[in-house]
Amino acid sequence: MPAYTTREELLELATTFRDAAAEDLKRAETAGDVHAVTLRAHARLNELETQLFAGHRVCVDCKAGCGTCCHLGKIDARAHEIFALADWITRNFSSEERNAVLQRAQAHAAAVAPLTLEAHLRTVRACPLLRAMSCSAHPARPGVCRIGHSTDVRICERAFQNPNDLTAKGGSHAVSKLAMTVASDGTSFAFIETGLDKTAYDLGSALAEALSDPSAQERWLAGERAFSKSAVAKQEAS
């Protein structure tokens, strides 16, 4: 396995993930097919993670029921990930469970909408999908959640307890995190190159719209922006 420490190795990795997703998209005929492309890309990212952790001998300290990272900062995702997640929720949750997620997502959207980027980063707020300190939609979680990991959960706990300290170091293995980020971006490029929405969205806010507005997916598949301006991820001013 490549070490993924050089520009050339990372570019090849991004291209591999882009090409695999692009081939899958060529065969996709329905919205369900498109969502399946995303879930297969997630599976490839999981396989890469396993290879990276083994190759670099990364000792991950994350465990079921930890959940602190699901409260921290902000979670951004692309439209293809959000719609695949919403579809998975609809297919696997009861109506009551789905409605509960929708209500939490709507509350999240209302709470973060007036925040600046810095205020959002300093906010400790549970992801709408977090239940009993575990992700209730773990199999369909977006790439950013798959990339997140820690070699020392005490670092995560300190960040949870001190949300105003934006200079605190993270606990991830830097090489592995970069490689997985590049691979996930490669998948996103495949969707973007087909003409689909390239916008980064706040996960909770966009999920609220994906679960409540069927026209959002229709707009997305038509090549338009999927979600409202208020759901767009906050970014540093250019």
State the pLDDT at residue 94: 98
CA distance 71 to 236: 21
181-236 pLDDT, tens digit each: 999 999 999 999 999 999 999 999 999 999 999 999 999 999 999 999 999 999 87
What contacts 84, CB < 8 A, 6 or more positions away? 34, 35, 38, 39, 140
Q: Are strands 134-135 and 130-131 parallel, antiparallel or unpaired?
A: antiparallel
CA distance 69 to 67: 6
How far from the centroid of its chain's Cα atoms is residue 57's Cα? 25
CA distance 72 to 158: 11
Model confidence band, residue 142 (pLDDT cutoffs 50, 70, 90): very high
Q: Which residue has the tokens 């767009």?
A: 232
Model confidence band, residue 238 (pLDDT cutoffs 50, 70, 90): very low
Q: What DSSP assignment string belongs to 94-149?
A: -HHHHHHHHHHHHHHHHHHTT--HHHHHT-----TTEETTEETTGGG--HHHHH--
16-52 pLDDT, tens digit each: 999 999 999 999 999 999 999 999 999 999 999 999 9
Of all helices (H) and strands (E), which one includes residue 76? strand 76-78
Q: Are strands 76-78 and 200-202 parallel, antiparallel or unpaired?
A: antiparallel
List the Cα angle 220/233/101 in 5-degree steps: 75
State the pLDDT at residue 63: 85
CA distance 75 to 108: 12
CA distance 202 to 195: 21
Q: Select from 163, 169, 67 the least CA-distant residue to 123.
A: 163
List the Cα angle 197/200/206 in 5-degree steps: 90
Q: What DSSP assignment string belongs to 15-63?
A: HHHHHHHHHHHHT--SHHHHHHHHHHHHHHHHHHHHHHHHHTT------
Q: Which residue has the tokens 């509350």?
A: 107
Determine whether 232 is exposed, middle or buried from the number of CB atoms within 10 Å of its CB (0-12, 13-18, 19+): middle
169-191 pLDDT, tens digit each: 889 999 999 999 999 999 999 99
